[in-house]
Amino acid sequence: MMADGVVSVLRGQGYALVGRHSAVKPCHWCREAIKEGRHCYKARFYGVESHRCLQMTPAVAWCQQRCVYCWRPVEKTVGVSDVPDPDDPGEIVEGSVEAHRRLLQGYGHLEGEAGRRWRESLEPRHAAISLAGEPTLYPRIGELIEEFHKRGFKTTFLVTNGLRPDRLESLDEEPRQLYVSLDAPDESLHRRINRPVVPDSWDRILETLELLPSMSCRTVIRITAVKGWNMEGTAEGFARLVELAEPTFVEVKGFMAIGWAAFRMGPENMPEHGEVVGFARELAEACGYELVDESPPSRVALLA
């Protein structure tokens, strides 16, 4: 489904392709957790064991947006609508676990506690369905979540840009936690930051936010804070959207100029952790939430 040039870029960045449209890539914190026992903020906030986390996507090169801050190669996106002729969910899960194991084989020499963590990493129990692309463009996303649960995965995190409220509303099975990326308080800024390629993207986001209170899983609004773009004078606007969605949590995460994002933005757009926390406090005051935790290494603050 993808041209050779797209495939070579993805493989060059360390992605393992699964089937015709899915991919796996262990993140920095998965490797840090194996080697050093250092876990990511999701372990601190939500109890996820980073070394047992499988990071994957069922739609690696499909997305309706070209976000300026995205560290993925959005310039290589090949589709904006549903993945055509999708692979079987069970085959995707099995292939993803196999690929994850292959990518971590290099740590087989570790001994002691690190060796124990490596052996545990080969049996992942958390699925982060994000990585790249827009997962809800895989039309069998609910079945995919169900397959993870059938195979003993304790948690599933689904990350979405919110542009397919219809797909979220009709999920066969909900994830344990649903993330909705929300990077702008209004349509004008949304179009500048997220660069959607579908005309009614803002209406779709609002529809998704209105849907969240009816979902039974934990919900999270994820704001990527980009200095000079969406942190100045925006707290009240974001607060109105948070009040609409009534999420379990709000994450405010500082932008990092890494990967392909470094070609579009620079260090001047990366807020310090103190600036992230300051913006989070301003947002909390505006929407009635509380700042309940923070993680300086990841420049992220948690509201609840």
Nearest to 201 by CA among 60, 80, 75: 80
Encode 91-122: b = buried (16+ Cβ within 10 Å), e = exposed: ebbebbbebbeebbeebeeeeeebeebbeebe
Question: What is the residue extent of each domain of the chain?
Answer: 4-303
Q: Which class would CATH give 4-303?
A: alpha beta
- CB-CB neighbours of 274 under 10 Å: 11
Q: What's the pTM?
A: 0.92
Token pair in block for residue 263: 């070609």
Query: Please, which residues have CB within 8 angstroms of residue 137's CB and are 6 or more apart in sequence?
Result: 59, 62, 63, 64, 79, 80, 81, 82, 83, 164
* Least confident range of 14-23, 69-78, 246-255, 275-284: 69-78
Give SS3 for 291: strand
Helix axes 273-287, 235-245, angle to 10 degrees: 60
Res 262: pLDDT? 78
Q: What is the mean pLDDT of residues 104-128?
A: 94
Residue 104 pLDDT exceeds 80: yes
Q: What is the pLDDT of residue 264?
A: 87
The DSSP string of 207-227 is HHHHHGGG-SSEEEEEEEE-T
